Amino acid sequence: MTYSKTIAQIKEINGNRDFTPLHEPCFSGNEKNYLADTIDTTFVSSVGAYVDRFEAEMARYTETAKAVAVVNGTAALQVGMRLAGVSKGTEVLTQALTFVATANAIAYNSARPVFIDVDLDTMGMSPLALSAFLDEFGELREEGCFNKSTGRRIAACVPMHTFGYMCRIDEIVAICDRWKIQVVEDAAEALGSKYKGQSAGSFGQTGAFSFNGNKIITSGGGGTIVSKDAQFAEKAKYLTTTAKVPHRWEYVHDELGYNFRMPNVNAALACAQMERIEEIKSAKKVLLASYQEVFTGESARLKPIPAGTDWNHWLISVELENLEERNRFLQETNDAAVMTRPIWRLISSLPMYEQCQKDSLANSIWLEERIVNIPSSVKV
């Protein structure tokens, strides 16, 4: 079959442009004013009013105790895992169907990922698969949970909310509590999403967000660590500001820290974007409704919103019939200057992670062969 009619409809929905991007940022508010203000005040680096304002706004929006602005979502994950006790020789349970940054952040802590399957509807970590893995390989000791197969301590679990869909995070947290495993929530793509009325990023010990240029809102480059425990967040702030002991003029650092601070100029952009996030979400719902009239057939259908999820509508996905149809759809759309992208190649198949332990990943493989993101930009 050919997708020429579908491509024409996608182009029409997106304004019949010469090139239809996958997801471009929307700058129609106070972005220029706030950026100019940082230049006028000369506070463009890692200290400034916009950093403080953005952190306060993120804590309010995610209903957490404190937020810490950092350079990107990967750094947010790395520090969140360190706070959870992830260190050299430990293991972290995560999913193979995710962006590579999730696994890289584990490796940056000199730990090893273990890959757990996802649910077909949420495309995020499956509580059933997690429970089955721990029942088979988990062993509770006084020092925590250990992997009977490898002998390593399982320090943390990092589920990820794929394309803003929420995984069954409450069930995952409950399972991890029983096994004495800390949860670090990869909410990089889920700002504005809720599950059973609770904000993404607020379920685990810490949550990590990304504000890369392709996210629902952007600071150009940036991320945030959030936590309902103010002490954890304070520790995150300390570690990401080079672990410097507060003093009016002395430079004393009492442990290994990171220069992961978000510059004020990026925070200014983020503040302007946060002012319009609900407008952006509403516009994205309208976009989804337009696509519902296009993808009505069996060969290419919109991915339904999982039960219990108030979705942020970040990237809209279609499910193709099989791998051959997926590849045909990708070829024809991109040949027509309509940017579409497949879901990620499974992390467990990448050369640096192919020796890591994994379960069957049956659902992950099924989704890898079928899911494609379609243009999801909006103008407000």
**CB neighbours (10 Å) of residue 287?**
19
**20: number of Cβ within 10 Å:** 22
- Residue 266 and residue 285 in one domain: no
Token pair for residue 169?
């995070």
Residues 294 and 168 in one domain: no
Per-residue pLDDT for 297 more than 90?
no
CATH code for the domain of 328? 3.90.1150
pLDDT at 120 over 80: yes
Residues paired with residue 116 on neighbouring β-strands, in sequence order: 95
Decide if 360 is inside a domain.
Answer: no
Residues 257 and 230 placed together within one structural domain of the fold: yes
Q: Which of 275, 298, 322 is the last residue in one of the domains?
A: 275
* pLDDT tens digits, one per residue of 127-159: 999 999 999 999 999 999 999 999 999 999 999
Question: Looking at residues 40-56, what average pLDDT do you find?
Answer: 95
Domain encompassing residue 315: 4-26+277-345+369-374
Which range has the worst mean pLDDT, 105-119, 227-241, 296-310, 325-339?
Answer: 296-310
By C-alpha distance, which of 219, 285, 287, 163 is closest to 27?
A: 219
pLDDT in tens, 341-366: 999 999 999 999 999 999 999 999 99
C-alpha 88: how far from chain center? 24
Asked, for residue 358, whether it belongs to a domain, the answer is: no
Cβ–Cβ < 8 Å for 188, 160: yes
Same domain for 258 and 323, yes or no, is no
pLDDT of 1 higher than 80: no
Into how many domains does the chain fold?
2
CA–centroid distance for 115 within its chain: 17
Q: Are residues 145 and 158 in the same domain?
A: yes
Active site (catalytic) residues: 215
Whether 288 maps to a domain, the answer reads yes
Residue 202 reports pLDDT greater than 80: yes
- Residue 188 confidence (pLDDT) above 80: yes
* Together in a domain, 91 and 125: yes
In a domain, 163, yes or no: yes
Rounded CA-CA distance 133/149 in Å is: 11
CA nearest 184: which of 158, 162, 223? 158
**Boundary-marking domain end, from 246, 275, 304:** 275
pLDDT band for 314, please (50, 70, 90 cuts).
very high
How far apart CA 233 and CA 181 sit, in angstroms, is: 19
pLDDT at 363 (0 to 100): 98
Among the three residues 251, 275, 299, which one is the final residue of a domain in this structure?
275
pLDDT band per the 50, 70, 90 thresholds, residue 234: very high
Mean pLDDT on 114-118:
98
Q: Kindly state whether residue 92 falls inside one of the protein's structural domains.
A: yes
49 pLDDT more than 80: yes
- Per-chain mean pLDDT for the chain: 97
* CA–CA separation, 168 and 173 (whole Å): 9
- Establish if 266 belongs to a structural domain: yes
Query: pLDDT tens digit string along 285-296?
Result: 999 999 999 998
Q: For the chain, what's the residue count?
A: 380
41 and 98, same domain (yes or no): yes
245 inside domain: yes
Torsion of Cα atoms, 12 then 13 then 19 then 22, to 10°: -160
116 and 254 co-located in one domain: yes
* Nearest-angstrom CA–CA distance, 335 and 185: 37
The reply to whether 16 and 148 lie within a common domain is no
DSSP symbol at 37: H
> Do 283 and 257 belong to one domain?
no
Model pLDDT for residues 257-295, shown as the tens digit of each residue? 999 999 999 999 999 999 999 999 999 999 999 999 999
Give the CATH number for residue 109.
3.40.640.10
pLDDT score, position 354: 97
Neighbour tally for 355: CB within 10 Å:
9
Q: Examine residue 380 and state whether it is found in any structural domain, yes or no.
A: no
Q: How much is the pLDDT for 298?
A: 74
Could you tell me if 57 and 36 lie in one domain? yes
pTM: 0.96
Identify the band that residue 380 occupies on the pLDDT scale cut at 50, 70 and 90: confident
User: CA distances (Å), 154 to each of 86, 89, 91, 104, 180, in order?
Assistant: 8, 9, 5, 17, 9
- Asked if residue 223 and residue 324 are part of one domain, the reply reads no
